[in-house]
A and B are shown apart, each in its own frame.
Chain A
Amino acid sequence: MEWVDFFLQQLITGLSNGMIIALIAIGYTMVYGIIELINFAHGDLFMLGAFLALTMLGMFGLGDWSGASAWAAVVIMLIASAGFCGALNWGIDRLAYKPLRDASKLSLLVSAIGASFILVNLGLFWGGLPMDVFAGGVAAAAPKDFPALVPNSNLLGESSLVQFTPKDVLVWAVTVPLMIGLTWIVTRTRLGKAMRATAQNPVAARLMGIDTDRVIGATFLIGGALGGFASVIYSLYNNTISFQMGYRAGMDAFTAAVLGGIGSMPGAVAGALVIGLVRSMSDAYFETRWTNTIVFGILVLILIFRPSGLLGSRAKEKV
Chain B
Amino acid sequence: MTLKTAMLAAALALATTAGALAQSGTLKIVSSLPRTGSANAQTGSIVNGIKMAIAEVGGKIDGYEIVYEDWDDASPQRGNWDPTVEAQNANRAVTDPTIVGYIGTFNSGAAKIAMPELNKAGLVMISPANTYSGLTKPGMGEANEPAIYRPSGSINYFRVVPTDDLQGAVAAEHVASSGAKKVFILHDRELYGKGIADVFQKRAKELGITVAGFEGIDTKASNYKSLCQKVKFSKADAVFFGGTTQSNGGQVAKDLRSVGFTGILVVPDGCCEEAFIQAAGAANLEGNTFVTFGGLPPSELTGRGAEFREGYRKMFGFDPEAYAVYGYESARVLLDAIKRAPTKDRAAILKAVSSTKDFDGALGIWSFDVNGDTTNRVMSINAVKDGKFVFVHRAGDAPTGGAKPE
**Chains A and B bind each other:** yes
**Chain A residues with a Cβ under 8 A of chain B:** 2, 5-6, 9-10, 13-14, 17, 121, 124, 135, 138-139, 141-145, 147-148, 152, 154, 161, 163, 234, 237-240, 242-245, 247-249, 252, 279-281, 283-284, 287-289, 291-292
What separation, in Å, do the CA atoms of A239 and B284 have in the docked complex?
11
Among B111-119, B130-138, B248-256, B392-400, the one that faces the other chain is B248-256
A143 pairs with B76, CB closer than 8 A: no
Given contact pairs A244-B220, A281-B226, a sample of 14 additional A-B residue pairs in the complex whose CB atoms are under 8 Å apart? A13-B229, A17-B225, A121-B76, A124-B76, A135-B275, A138-B40, A144-B279, A145-B280, A163-B259, A237-B223, A245-B222, A252-B222, A283-B230, A288-B218
**Chain B residues with a Cβ under 8 A of chain A:** 36-41, 44, 76, 79, 189, 215-218, 220-227, 229-230, 233, 245, 248, 250-251, 254, 258-260, 274-275, 278-281
Contact of B248 among A9, A143, A247 (CB under 8 A): A143
Q: Which residue of A lies closest to B37 (CB)?
A: A141
A143 pairs with B279, CB closer than 8 A: yes
Distance between B211 CB and nearest chain A CB, rounded to angstroms? 14
Which A residues are CB-close (under 8 A) to B217? 288-289
B274 pairs with A141, CB closer than 8 A: no
What separation, in Å, do the CA atoms of A291 and B274 have in the docked complex?
30
Which A residues are CB-close (under 8 A) to B233? 2, 5-6, 9, 161
Contact of A143 among B39, B189, B250 (CB under 8 A): B250
Which B residues are CB-close (under 8 A) to A284? 226-227, 229-230
Closest 8 CB pairs of A and B: A142-B38, A283-B226, A141-B79, A141-B37, A143-B279, A280-B226, A145-B281, A289-B216
B275 pairs with A142, CB closer than 8 A: yes
Contact of A17 among B38, B223, B254 (CB under 8 A): B223
Given A2-B233, A13-B229, A142 and B278 touching (CB < 8 A)? yes
What separation, in Å, do the CA atoms of A144 and B79 have in the docked complex?
13
Distance between B4 CB and nearest chain A CB, rounded to angstroms? 59
Which B residues are CB-close (under 8 A) to A9? 229, 233
A143 pairs with B222, CB closer than 8 A: no
A142 pairs with B226, CB closer than 8 A: no
Contact of A145 among B36, B258, B279 (CB under 8 A): B279
Contact of B223 among A2, A135, A238, A242 (CB under 8 A): A238
Contact of B260 among A144, A154, A247 (CB under 8 A): A154
Distance between B187 CB and nearest chain A CB, rounded to angstroms? 10
Between-chain CB contacts (< 8 Å), 22 pairs: A13-B226, A17-B222, A124-B76, A138-B40, A139-B37, A139-B39, A139-B275, A142-B41, A143-B279, A163-B229, A163-B259, A238-B222, A239-B258, A244-B79, A245-B222, A248-B220, A249-B222, A283-B224, A284-B230, A288-B217, A291-B218, A292-B218
Distance between A22 CB and nearest chain B CB, rounded to angstroms? 14
Distance between A214 CB and nearest chain B CB, rounded to angstroms? 35
